[in-house]
Structure 1
Amino acid sequence: MSDMNPAVALPGGARATLRRNFWRGVWRVLKRKPSRMAGAIIVLGFAFMGVFGPLLYPDQLPRDDNALYAPPSWAHPFGTDFEGTDVLALVVTGAQYVLLTGLVTAVITIVLGTGVGLFAGFRRGRWDSVLMRITDMKLTIPGLPLLLVLSTIWKFSSAWEMGLVLGLLGWGGVARAVRSQTLSLRERGFIEAARGLGLSTTHIIGRELLPSMAPFIAMNMLIAVTGAVYAQVGLFFLGVLPFEANNWGVMLNLAVFGGGALTTTAALPYLMAPLLAILLLTLGIVLVVDAMDEIFNPRLREE
């Protein structure tokens, strides 16, 4: 395997050509398997729902006291809830909180975990020991009990707040994984050459190591989104967080504990709608990660 750095400086025209070839390769990989194309469409669909979904409905969703727990119909594809509100509208408008929380969590997790892992793995020695001890202490903090304590003083009404807390609790594993990758890459020829040229640590990490690890980091970011979705939905479902925001976890809690969806069929559509949304989002991310594995790893590309 060649030790040439894939991120070596290129003229503007060459970089533009490289970008075009990359996106053409992405398109070929997606077209090769319909499941991958379906995954990309699902993820883009949820992204569109999170950004524009709330704009399709009024701030106060209409209620119909004469249609409580109405069965699915053309007017209400997933029926209505205990207040006569359209369940599909609740899923669409509740997606923004869930998806924004997942995005904020993933960004914080990746930025902190990648930064700590890269620096510790490259510098080694005392810096490595200090940063890894901090990481180990972070990994020993029990997330659920801490969130239970925080919920007594913090309402988590904002997706930014929830994402911040989940991100600060979730970067340790990424830091450990990135450090392992960095320890392997730092012995490669192009890193030795960069050090021999006297390039700064910041330059070597930012321009040499980071691009080589971009596929690994991108896949971990997508996985972090699913982890954040499960974490927040689970917390709201268990009722440990105040119902200050409309999201899928609140819907699941109200369907099971308020509507008795596990014992009666009346509230079953109210339960199934957010579950279906979570499953579809997870499926889309898994299929996209499968495509990314081939996009960034030439050894996996089929001829």
Structure 2
Amino acid sequence: MRFLSDLWRILRNDKGALVGGVIVLIYGLVAIFGPVFVQVGDEQDASQAYQPPSWEHPLGTDSLGQGVLEQIIVGTQPIMIVGVMSAVITIFIGVAVGLLTGYIGGVVDTIVMRITDIFLTIPGLPLIIVLASVIHTTNPFVLACILSITAWAGLARAIRSQAMSLRSSDFVEAAQLQGVSLGNMIGRQLLPNVGPYVAIHFLLAITGAIYASVGLFLLGIAPISGNNWGIMINLAMAQGALYTTDSAFYLFSPMAAIVILQVSFVFFSRALDSVFNPRLRVQ
């Protein structure tokens, strides 16, 4: 509860972080409840194609006469699901590898770190594009695994460094003398001490995964199925949005949704930074 009280106190003093947190919360609620209350039907009305914003369609319509705002709302869920799942996978692998190798050390550390170095040197985006092209799936979990294929390596290295510094701490040595098991040592002694870094990295992992997943749909590498922001941008560009103003709202609305979410994550992460590092707090 102290964490929540500190976070709320910082949010009250840092309006930018507060606005960012509220917007992130709104996106989360839209992702959960949006498809329940908003539907994108199969009805097509060519006479309503590329209509400007109106009371009925605040962000205009697409080439089929369907509302752009409705598509953005419905498309929020699949993008957020993939982003969060990818971040969870990245955090799990990175933290597990980093803590185990940093604490155990020796040959295990050497072998695993050499493997980690290989993943660090592999160009992440080209590998993701190749894997997505070969697998060609819309399954959120599979896409999340593809997006996190190399993202965990940098986190693992950072966590390993912290684990190595904690290994010689008094509380770790005391736990070793008490015969604490490896699982208990990792979960109760080391993990809480790297929690702040993990929490902030989790937000950054979500933003990176969202960018990457939108890019896969934008490039047409992932199959076009349902509604999401990447597919909207892909279709808008295919319909000539770069060469005509008719579909401008259809192109720039999902792009704006992405930018607003990413900026909000950055501002909210500033509040987490301040919670975990009091020297950064806004007075």
Which residue of the partner structure matches residue 174 of structure 1?
A: 155
- In the alignment, which of 165, 169, 173 is matched to residue 188 of structure 1? 169
Question: Within 2, Cα distance between the matches of 1:285 and 1:152?
Answer: 29
Question: Within 2, Cα distance between the matches of 1:59 and 1:84?
Answer: 11
- In the alignment, which of 226, 238, 261 is matched to residue 241 of structure 2? 261
Which residue of the partner structure matches residue 38 of structure 1?
A: 19
1:153, distance to aligned residue in structure 2 (A): 4.3
Distance 1:215 1:260, change over 3 A: same
- In the alignment, which of 264, 267, 275 is matched to residue 287 of structure 1? 267
Q: Taking every aligned residue pair, what percent have the same amino acid on both sides?
A: 43
- In the alignment, which of 239, 250, 259 is matched to residue 270 of structure 1? 250
For residue 282 of structure 1, give the secondary structure of its aligned residue in structure 2. helix
Question: Within 2, Cα distance between the matches of 1:148 and 1:219?
Answer: 26
- Residues 104, 160 of structure 1: 8 Å contact kept: yes
Which residue of the partner structure matches residue 214 of structure 2?
A: 233
Give the AA of the match of 2:142: E
Distance 1:289 1:119, change over 3 A: same
Give the AA of the match of 2:119: K
- Residues 97, 247 of structure 1: 8 Å contact kept: yes
Give the AA of the match of 2:56: A
- Residues 68, 81 of structure 1: 8 Å contact kept: yes
Question: Within 2, Cα distance between the matches of 1:213 and 1:74?
Answer: 49
CA offset digits 1:116-151 (Å, max 9, x no partner)? 001001111111011112212223344344344434
1:284, distance to aligned residue in structure 2 (A): 1.3
CA RMSD of aligned residues (A): 1.7
For residue 241 of structure 1, give the secondary structure of its aligned residue in structure 2. coil
Structure 2 gaps, min length 5:
none
Which residue of the partner structure matches residue 99 of structure 1?
A: 80
1:88 aligns with 2:69: yes
Distance 1:95 1:187, change over 3 A: same
Which residue of the partner structure matches residue 16 of structure 1?
A: none
CA offset digits 1:272-294 (Å, max 9, x no partner)? 11111101110111111100011
* Within-5 A mapping of 1:3-14: none
Which residue of the partner structure matches residue 53 of structure 1?
A: 34
- Residues 120, 131 of structure 1: 8 Å contact kept: yes
Question: Within 1, Cα distance between the matches of 2:133 and 2:209?
Answer: 20
Question: Within 2, Cα distance between the matches of 1:283 and 1:144?
Answer: 22
* 222-231 or 136-145: bigger deviation: 136-145
* 43-52 or 201-210: bigger deviation: 201-210
Which residue of the partner structure matches residue 140 of structure 1?
A: 121
1:150 aligns with 2:121: no
Distance 1:145 1:36, change over 3 A: closer
Give the AA of the match of 1:182: A
Which residue of the partner structure matches residue 113 of structure 1?
A: 94
Q: TM-score scaled by structure 1?
A: 0.88
1:63 aligns with 2:44: yes
Give the AA of the match of 1:105: S
